[in-house]
Structure 1
Amino acid sequence: MRVTVSLQKESYRWIFKQIWLRKGVIREPQLQMPRFLANKDIEIVDPRPSRPTYPPWGPPVKDDPRFMPTPRLEDHPDYHEDYVYEFNTKTRLLEGEKQALILTKTQPFYELPDNVQKLIGAVDIPDQDELIQRYIMQANVWDPTKKKLPKRFNAQIPGWKFKAETGIPRRRIMSTLTQNLLRLCQSLGGRYPDLLQGRRFAPEAYVSSSYSFHGNNPILIQGEVEYLMSSNQPLAPFGSEDVIDSSVTHSLPDMFPVAPTIDLKHQHIWRDTNITGWREGFSHPHPHTLYLTCSDFWSVSQRNARGLAFCFAHALALAHSKYGNDTKTLPEPISTQCVMTDGATFHFVCFQLNTLNFDSGDGVKNLVWFDNNNEMYNKILPKRTMLRNTKYEDYDPEVFKKILALYVNGARL
């Protein structure tokens, strides 16, 4: 960069501030008697008016919340001096999937389980592909929503300045597409009554569950997922007894010298309660499939970590409600599923909770199956022109078949 005269010019404003910090002093004026009046009996009167005194002010309404003092954390009824490590929907793990495997004591597999793969293509819907392509266009193009969009950036042309644009927000695109796909799955209820009677949907489903990691590190997982499908019957285990027994010899990843809890927030306000999201006696208490929308720009590994953590949280909350918080060995495994999407690419997670013993990394492990980067369609953004020139190509019908396989898993077809 060429140094010009303007850059070499001194900032007198900055210089004045520095001098004022060192030498600037405000002195109150004092009354001093002149020397020629010192020996004369003359009373000196301060000409400055005295400052009036007012009674202390208070709000007209004593309990007006606008003028209440800022509450302290220590005054909260759920405050604890000992903090817990909190994992929520905004927690971004440094090592992503690897770190989540350590925290949940889990052995990974990188394909869908056998009992789910057998269901791919087992059921179909009339005009299935045509309807899904219309859903894609409805979410991305046909929606009349017009809101100011974030400023675009293209790493290939960093100097290019994009114009301000209005259109459909990214979160709305994902929500619209997810709702339409779920409604298409629910249309199977007329053909298979078990899907209609044995499934319940809950938007913004909340879960909260805690456990002790390696004896002295309490971890609290809490947050909401966009949609939760629950069932009146538990999912069958994804892994057989032989797979569970062989997990004893599996070694968890190692992050030494970094602690796996490094990215978890220290939380002093928490409740030692187990929340599944359902009242006691609910007819469909078993978590079946979680649906998460990813409006961030995280890596695939970090998204897998979030999906794994919330599948684990729902399974753990159900285990604590059924068997108590002190149980270490489960009578039978608890299985959950998860579907994550950013509006075009889908990631699938199948989790099986086998043990509640988190004192060490030895012994039986929990199991998880990942199936990543399933592109339903290719969304080609224009390089320099406006977003209205976006192209949608390469529709893949196999992606929805996997979504449908997870949906009908556990039902009598």
Structure 2
Amino acid sequence: MAAAGPMALGRAAARGRRAHTRGVLTRAAPPRPRGPLPRTPWTTRGPPPEELARRVERRPVREQVELDTVTYAGRQHFVPGLARPRFPPWERGWHDPRHWRGPRYEEMPLYNERSCFVYQQRVRMLEGVRQAQWLTKTKLVEGLPPPVLSIVHDPAQQLEEQEERVKRAISHARFWDTTEVAPMREHYCPVLFEDLIHLCRSMTPKYPSLSKRILARNYRVAATWERESILLQVRGLNGILMNSMAPIPPVASKEEVLATEEHVLETFYPISPTIDLQEVNVYKELNETGFRDGYPYPHPHTLFFLESHNHRPKRFRPEQLRAKMLMFAFGNALAKAKALYGNDPKVLEQPIVVQSIGTDGQLFQFMVFQLNTTDLVSGDGIKNLVWIDSDQNLYEKAQCLPEVKKRVVVKPAGIYGFQPDTFKKFLALYLHGAV
């Protein structure tokens, strides 16, 4: 028999050891603490740091060569992996309005380093009336002022068959002036407004001064002021303005105006008072009423805001609408005050009163604003005053189609929940200053 080789003897010895330890229970030895591994020679890990530092010092400095960007300009088509070429602007030699590019803001002549925060007709204030109060330095009084309430409660200042005529105006807007079963809000809201204004004009034979008024549409107002180192501006299109030849007399007495010095304006920290306002750097500090000098109806009387959009998300919520009414009433009053008394901040000897009415064709908001001062930088001193009567329904529902159940008319078509006091307030604001 041939002798076994060394590899066969090694495998036999290993099998013998496994067979010897198969029935014996062994215990693993604890791991030995390992120290740092010995350093490998240079051929494997490189030289030590000291030798590398010496080599770097002896190495000559090489100048870094800038590489040119390789683009696909010469190919005249897109090539993956190559950079996009940039060409100088092409000068056509003639003005093409379709490809006209305006100058940068910094190059415009009206550019200013100081930012201006602008309130325009589509701004929705986050904090509503509270934010508008702080911006305009105004104290809020709930309800309508006594001169207006005296007109509301006076039966002599009402129309003949007033309730029936108002109901006919609502029916005309909601049922009759349309070929549709249920007209859209953007249709019946302006129609209702025109009908209510027509009813108010019918008082002209009794009060001839009502004929010295006019409605202005699509005019632009601009008023600029400073509030605690913040430059603010109200400008642009707003509601329908009714102008008059004579101003509205002050609503609050001098004692009530002086009592506003103790009022502390409400803050809403940490929210910034300029949140939602448009920040611009290209502007001009303007104070314009929107009408030329010599206009026969120079005094603002009442602003009308019609929120008649069909989609609810695009309409102003009542709180936002009241803030909009306050901001534009203040803007018209401030522009008129600066036209009369100059741009210097001062307490007005004759306060300026501007009214405002907002509606969506069903819900009405009433406001009377009195501008007492143009010194608006500090929160101390005399404040302006505003009276607000909010969320007044003219009617609760206009049933365009009868409600039928089991072939029986349960609820006929018509106007439901009519509230005559709402039109009384509408008429009182119209007559204010003429009665």
TM-score normalised by the chain length of structure 1: 0.75
Partner of 2:183: 168
Q: 1:167 to 1:68 in 2, by over 3 A?
A: farther
Q: 1:57 to 1:92 in 2, by over 3 A?
A: closer
**Percent of residue pairs bearing the same amino acid type:** 37
Partner of 1:223: 236
Cα deviation per residue 1:192-238 (whole Å; 9 max; x = unaligned)?
Answer: 21111x21211233211110111x21101013233111111111111
Specify the code of the residue in structure 2 equivalent to 1:270.
Y
Hey, what's the Cα distance between the residues in 2 that align with 1:334 and 1:67? 48
Classify the secondary structure of the residue corresponding to 2:204.
helix
Hey, what's the Cα distance between the residues in 1 that align with 2:333 and 2:413? 41
**Shift of residue 293 of structure 1?**
1.2
Does the 8 A contact of 1:204 with 1:228 survive in 2? no
Specify the code of the residue in structure 2 equivalent to 1:349.
M
**Shift of residue 167 of structure 1?**
5.6
Aligned partner of 1:286 among 299, 304, 314: 299
Q: 1:312 to 1:145 in 2, by over 3 A?
A: farther
Partner of 1:48: none
Partner of 2:159: 125
**Shift of residue 243 of structure 1?**
0.9
Name stretches of at least 5 consecutive residues in structure 1 with no aligned partner. Answer: 1-24, 29-55, 147-165
Partner of 1:261: 274
Aligned partner of 1:365 among 383, 401, 407: 383
Q: What RMSD over aligned residues (CA atoms) do the two structures have, in Å?
A: 2.6
**Shift of residue 336 of structure 1?**
0.8
Aligned partner of 1:322 among 328, 333, 340: 340
Does the 8 A contact of 1:208 with 1:313 survive in 2? yes
Hey, what's the Cα distance between the residues in 1 that align with 2:233 and 2:253? 29
Hey, what's the Cα distance between the residues in 2 that align with 1:363 and 1:190? 44
Q: 1:246 to 1:26 in 2, by over 3 A?
A: same
Classify the secondary structure of the residue corresponding to 1:118.
helix
**Shift of residue 130 of structure 1?**
2.2
Cα deviation per residue 1:7-62 (whole Å; 9 max; x = unaligned)?
Answer: xxxxxxxxxxxxxxxxxx8369xxxxxxxxxxxxxxxxxxxxxxxxxxx9876x82
Partner of 1:187: 202
Specify the code of the residue in structure 2 equivalent to 1:139.
A
**Shift of residue 390 of structure 1?**
7.7
Hey, what's the Cα distance between the residues in 2 that align with 1:311 and 1:370? 12
Q: Which deviates more, 180-189 or 308-317?
A: 180-189
Hey, what's the Cα distance between the residues in 1 that align with 2:227 and 2:198? 39
Q: Which deviates more, 241-250 or 313-322?
A: 241-250
Hey, what's the Cα distance between the residues in 1 that align with 2:118 and 2:275? 11
| 1:265-280 correspondence runs (5 A) | 265-280=278-293
Partner of 1:406: 429
Q: 1:27 to 1:255 in 2, by over 3 A?
A: closer
Classify the secondary structure of the residue corresponding to 1:271.
coil
TM-score normalised by the chain length of structure 2: 0.71
Q: 1:27 to 1:407 in 2, by over 3 A?
A: closer
**Shift of residue 68 of structure 1?**
2.4
Name stretches of at least 5 consecutive residues in structure 2 with no aligned partner. Answer: 1-78, 83-88, 309-313, 404-411
Classify the secondary structure of the residue corresponding to 1:339.
strand
Q: 1:181 to 1:268 in 2, by over 3 A?
A: same
Specify the code of the residue in structure 2 equivalent to 1:78.
L
Does the 8 A contact of 1:379 with 1:390 survive in 2? no
Hey, what's the Cα distance between the residues in 2 that align with 1:309 and 1:139? 29
Hey, what's the Cα distance between the residues in 1 that align with 2:183 and 2:145? 36
Hey, what's the Cα distance between the residues in 1 that align with 2:246 and 2:90? 64
| 1:9-24 correspondence runs (5 A) | none
Q: Report the structure number with the largest CA radius of gyration.
A: 2
User: Does structure 1 residue 239 correspond to structure 2 residue 281?
Assistant: no
